[in-house]
Structure 1
Amino acid sequence: MKHPPYDVFISHHGQDTKKTVAKSIYKKVNATGLRVFLDKDELQLGDFFPGTLEEAMASASLHIAIFSQNYVQSPWCLAELTFILERRNIKFIPIFYHLEPSDLRWAVKGKGIYGEALNKPEMKIRNG
């Protein structure tokens, strides 16, 4: 099912943020007249989930990633983040929800919750 293009795509871990910060951002940005993709609110019965998600990501010119405790544990979130980081023509806003930016900086050294999660054997295989 083809959808009109989105202006904003919100990448988030549902358990951590869907009912709080993600929903709040969705409502406020949507109220400005921009088309916002938040999976729970935009997916419709009969949509092919991976295809609809990829279509929404590709059409949005602004991506918001809400980094939370469990974001790095989700293969979907990591796929969305990879998509965001591989594109040079989109704007990207990181939001740190119940973590610090340093949690991501430490990941490079394999430390902290993000570093530990990304250094698990199954993540190394998945992310090369």
Structure 2
Amino acid sequence: MRVSSSRAREASSSNSSPSRNCYHVFLSFSGEDTRKTFTDNLYTAFVDKGFPTFRDEEELERGEDIKPKFETAIQQSRSSVIVFSKNYAFSRWCLDELVMILERKRISDHVVLPVFYDVDPSDVRKQTGSVEEAFAKHEKNGQPSNKMNQWKKALAEVADLAGMVRANQADG
């Protein structure tokens, strides 16, 4: 049983209060790395167990402005699962999403579960390895230092949470 876009829209349209939960889980991930493997399997497992789950591919209409939709989905979720992968920190959008998730956690009982998929949690915490490469690219592309500091702080904070470490396996 999949959560349909229309069902999610009905839930959100009948709910004008951002504190009401429409989703049990908000999935944050780099699609390039994990969409068709680990994240797809994780999403299917949540939905099969009856947990309404927000995933961008299922919930966004073509041409929609995505930032307000993501902010609302985070606000209307009980928890977030953040799948860190080698390319996660290369995505400015993923990093902005991470900041929104941690802001939600600070002001509510929002649960955050980091999953380190084929990436070492210490690379996320200390911004080394692929995370360091990503920040070098963001700096080269002229990303403001205050924004980069916000992202670095968020990465260090989430890497200190109890999470799961998973290796990239051929079967996802």
Relative to the length of structure 1, the TM-score reads: 0.85
Q: How do 1:54-73 and structure 2 match up within 5 A?
A: 54-73=71-90
* Percent of pairs with identical residues: 34
**1:97 equivalent in alignment to 2:117:** yes
SS at match of 2:23: coil
1:24 equivalenced with 2:41 (yes/no):
yes
Match of 1:63, SS state, is strand
Amino acid corresponding to residue 97 of structure 2 in structure 1: E
Match of 1:39 in 2: 56
Equivalent of 1:8, from 25, 35, 38?
A: 25
CA distance in 1, matches of 2:55, 2:97: 13
2:96 to 68, 71, 79: 79
Deviation larger for 15-24 or 86-95? 86-95
Any idea what SS the aligned residue of 1:44 has? Answer: coil
Alignment check: 8 A CA contact 1:65 1:93 kept: yes
Among 136, 141, 148, the alignment partner of 1:127 is: 148
User: In the TM superposition, what is the alpha-carbon distance from 1:30 to its structure 2 partner?
Assistant: 0.7
Q: Name the amino acid aligned to 2:77.
A: A
Residue identity opposite 2:34 in structure 1: T
Deviates more, 1:79-88 or 1:17-26: 79-88
Cα distance in 1 for residues equivalent to 2:88 and 2:37: 15
User: What count of residue pairs does the alignment treat as equivalent?
Assistant: 125
Q: Which runs of 5+ in 1 are unaligned?
A: none
| Superposition CA RMSD, Å | 2.1
Residue 67 (structure 2) aligns with: 50
Match of 1:114?
A: 131
* Kept after mapping to 2: 8 A contact 1:106/1:112: no
> Where do 5+ consecutive residues of structure 2 fail to align?
1-5, 12-21, 150-172
Query: How big is the shift at 1:125?
Result: 5.0
Q: What per-residue deviation string (whole Å, max 9, x for no partner) do you get for residues 49-70 of structure 1? A: 2221111111011100000011
